[in-house]
């Protein structure tokens, strides 16, 4: 009997992954739609207005044709919050996410982007060695599973930056590095998008935090008021750069700036920047211990 429960539950997770990957690529969240409309309303440059109106038309056409918002289907990146009493081992959860990703790629079909990092040979339907990418968080006293899928295209992912600042650099050093990163990126990451900043922890964890930041609903603020104040300040500074939509100049360079942070060593100050393009795609599912699945558009 336990084996039957595990098998059924693994199938539910696989089904959820297959749905999430395609759903995220087709149907962008309402907070993103609202942010794009607001950006178009406040943009004063003619090229910027044209770009934003084209983006909004793109979203409208994708909705009407039930098609992808962007041709770059990216690689699937999942974040899993696993309850300690969820009756499926993480190894089986990963297997289900991998199988669901492959199914979605074949059944839709989606462009297969996965390649061997040295030979550049295609490794299959958006899966391969250590693909898809899965981040884990384990929750005590809970028997559920939350899965968030954030497809990451190469244009924005290529514009990722890390600097091991020194504590003496202070907040000024953090702001300077973020600004230099986004100015250097210019129009390459398809602005306006979301700038995610990860501060603290270690080098690898700072980048993970930056990616957590881009996956938050647009305009949400860090629960730490000091960090939230820095989010607001950076958003204002980034939009003063004049890079504008698609790098053609204008008032709106970013839709928002989100920061996630962790405490760190007294001699460290890692800062990571991860850019999410205007098509900031994400989709989530909540899976109960009995396999019941609830899909969440806005999480």
Using alpha carbons only, how large is the chain's radius of gyration in Å?
A: 20
Digit-coded pLDDT (tens) for 238-290: 999 999 999 999 999 999 999 999 999 999 999 999 999 999 999 999 999 99
Indicate if the pLDDT at residue 33 is higher than 50.
yes
pLDDT surpassing 80 at residue 223 = yes
Strands (E), 177-290: 193-200, 254-262, 269-276, 283-287
Q: Which of 285, 293, 254, 284 is nearest to 38 (CA)?
A: 254
Long-range CB contacts for residues 46-55, cutoff 8 Å, separation at least 24: 47/244, 47/245, 47/248, 47/249, 47/250, 48/244, 48/245, 48/248, 48/249, 48/250, 48/251, 48/252, 49/250, 51/244, 51/245, 51/246, 51/248, 51/250, 52/192, 52/245, 52/252, 55/245, 55/278
Which pair of tokens denotes residue 47? 């090229």
Distance CA 80, CA 113 (A): 22
pLDDT for 113-131, tens place per residue? 999 999 999 999 999 999 9
* pLDDT band at residue 155 using 50, 70 and 90 as cut-offs: confident
Percentage of the chain modeled with pLDDT above 70: 97
Question: Residue 162 pLDDT > 50, yes or no?
Answer: yes
7-11, 49-53, 169-173: which has the minimum mean pLDDT? 7-11
Closest Cα partner for 215 from 91, 106, 109, 79? 79
User: 191 pLDDT exceeds 60?
Assistant: yes
Please give the share of the chain, as a percent, with pLDDT higher than 90: 95
Q: Which domains does the chain have, with CATH numbers?
A: 2-26+70-151+281-296 (3.30.1330), 154-276 (no CATH)
Say yes or no to pLDDT of 160 above 60: yes
Over the stretch 2-26, which tens digit does the pLDDT of each residue have?
A: 333 445 999 999 999 999 999 999 9
Q: Is 253 helix (H, G, I), strand (E, B) or coil?
A: coil
Instruction: Say which DSSP state 94 is in.
Output: H
């Amino acid at each position: 009997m336990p084996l039957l429960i595990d098998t059924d539950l693994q199938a539910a997770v696989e089904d959820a992954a297959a749905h999430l990957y395609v759903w995220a690529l087709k149907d962008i969240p309402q907070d993103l739609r609202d942010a794009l409309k607001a950006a178009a309303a406040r943009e004063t440059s003619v090229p910027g207005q044209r770009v934003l109106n084209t983006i909004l038309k793109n979203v409208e056409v994708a909705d009407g044709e039930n098609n992808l918002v962007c041709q770059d289907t990216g690689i699937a990146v999942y974040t899993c919050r696993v309850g300690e009493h969820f009756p499926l081992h993480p190894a089986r959860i990963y297997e289900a996410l991998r199988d669901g990703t492959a199914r979605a790629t074949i059944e839709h079909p989606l462009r297969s982007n996965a390649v061997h990092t040295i030979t550049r040979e295609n490794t299959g339907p958006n899966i391969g060695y250590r693909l898809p990418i899965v981040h884990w968080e384990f929750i005590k006293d809970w028997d559920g599973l939350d899965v968030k899928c954030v497809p990451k295209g190469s244009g924005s992912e290529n514009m990722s930056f890390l600097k091991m600042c020194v504590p003496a650099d202070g907040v000024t050093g953090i702001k300077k590095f973020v600004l230099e990163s986004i100015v250097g990126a210019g129009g390459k990451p398809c602005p306006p998008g979301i700038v995610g900043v990860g501060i603290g922890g270690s080098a690898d964890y700072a980048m993970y935090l930056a990616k957590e930041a881009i996956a938050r609903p647009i305009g949400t603020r860090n629960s730490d008021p000091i960090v939230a104040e820095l989010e607001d300040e950076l958003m204002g500074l980034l939009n003063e750069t004049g890079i504008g939509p698609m790098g053609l100049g204008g008032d709106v360079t970013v839709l928002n700036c989100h920061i996630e942070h962790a405490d760190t060593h007294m001699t460290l100050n890692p800062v990571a920047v991860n850019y999410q393009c205007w098509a900031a795609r994400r989709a989530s599912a909540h899976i109960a211990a009995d396999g019941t699945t609830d899909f969440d558009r806005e999480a």
